[in-house]
Amino acid sequence: MAHGSFVTAINCMDGRTQLPVISFLKEKYGVDYVDSITEPGPIKFLARNQDGNTIASIRKRVAISVEKHGSGVIAIVGHHDCAGNPVGKETQLEQLEDSANLIKTWGYDVDIVKLWVDESWQVHEV
């Protein structure tokens, strides 16, 4: 088992979202580390559940975080001005919900949280 406590963030690769999400999760859950799983617009892939290679890669990395690091939380992130998923906030909020529903089917006994990063790079739980 890893030393320290962990949560998992499935986040966009966009560097503007990284530190706000890490800070939010560390403060909210009082953990030492955030395992970051990044893709360009990951909620687009998870919500559609069509790109098998991308989803398998995300799932493999989630497994390491949960099974090896003992993460008890998986956060899924959408954000303003996403180049990898250039759709509006309302669509991304729907994608976050669909992504959470897919991840629930993976069978982990963890909390799944949905986060939105706004145009000021502030993190909000949705």
Locate the domains of the chain by residue range.
6-125
pLDDT at 34 over 60: yes
Q: What is the model's pLDDT at position 26?
A: 98
Beta 33-39 vs 6-12: how paired, if at all?
parallel
**CATH of the domain spanning 6-125, picked from 1.10.260.40, 3.40.1050.10, 3.40.50.720, 1.10.3720.10:** 3.40.1050.10
Written in H, E and C, the secondary structure of 47-96 is: HHCCCHHHHHHHHHHHHHHHHHCCCCEEEEEEECCCCCCCCCHHHHHHHH
Provide the 3-class DSSP secondary structure of residue 3. Answer: coil
pLDDT at 83 over 70: yes
Q: What is the model's pLDDT at position 3?
A: 80
pLDDT at 42 over 70: yes
pLDDT at 1 over 60: no
Q: Which two tokens stand for residue 24?
A: 């939010």
Of 28, 102, 35, 25, nearest to 63 by C-alpha is 35
- How far is the C-alpha of 39 from the C-alpha of 33, rounded, in Å? 19
pLDDT at 58 over 70: yes
Q: Tell me the pLDDT tens digit for each residue of 9-21.
A: 999 999 999 999 9
